[in-house]
Amino acid sequence: MNNNCCMRQTDYGPNPCILRVEEMAEQNKNFRTAVWTGCHVQMTLMCIPPCEDIGWEMHPDTDQIIRVEHGKAIVMMGSCKGRPEFQNEMCPGDAVFIPAGTWHNIMNPERCPLKLSSVYAPPRHPWGTVHQTKMDANKRENNASCQW
């Protein structure tokens, strides 16, 4: 078991690994970085710039857990895109559980980058995914020929 894998940001899955998620999230400057991708679950780290958001999204067959590692966030969820039926503030250590088929968005209302960790079951992004910016993520996902 590798317990020193927290220093590099690469996808360690599906190998057994211990990660210092909070430390890795602090160091992550990419919009999205896959750090562990297995057959049934995936963890990514996200960095949301000040006053920006993830963007409304819905995963029909994927449950998701998003945890705030640093900063404050506003989470919105609902059955329709852009129409939140639920909205709440999140602080470091808080996690939101998002059932498959639920529209959701996470906003960063602060002046500092928001650092998140996100768990997808099953995996949502290809092994080794790195999206430097939200625009990069949108381009790559719109051009993807297949999804997990």
Its domain, for residue 126, covers 21-145
Closest CA to 69 of 103, 45, 36, 50: 45
In a domain, 10, yes or no: no
Q: What is the pTM of this model?
A: 0.88
Q: CB of 49 within 8 A of CB of 108?
A: yes
Of the listed ranges 1-5, 54-58, 132-136, the least confidently predicted one is 1-5
- Count structural domains, the chain: 1
Closest CA to 89 of 77, 72, 110: 72
The enclosing domain of 36 has a CATH number of 2.60.120.10
Q: What is the pLDDT of residues 6-62, one digit of tens each?
A: 445 589 999 999 999 999 999 999 999 999 999 999 999 999 999 999 999 999 999
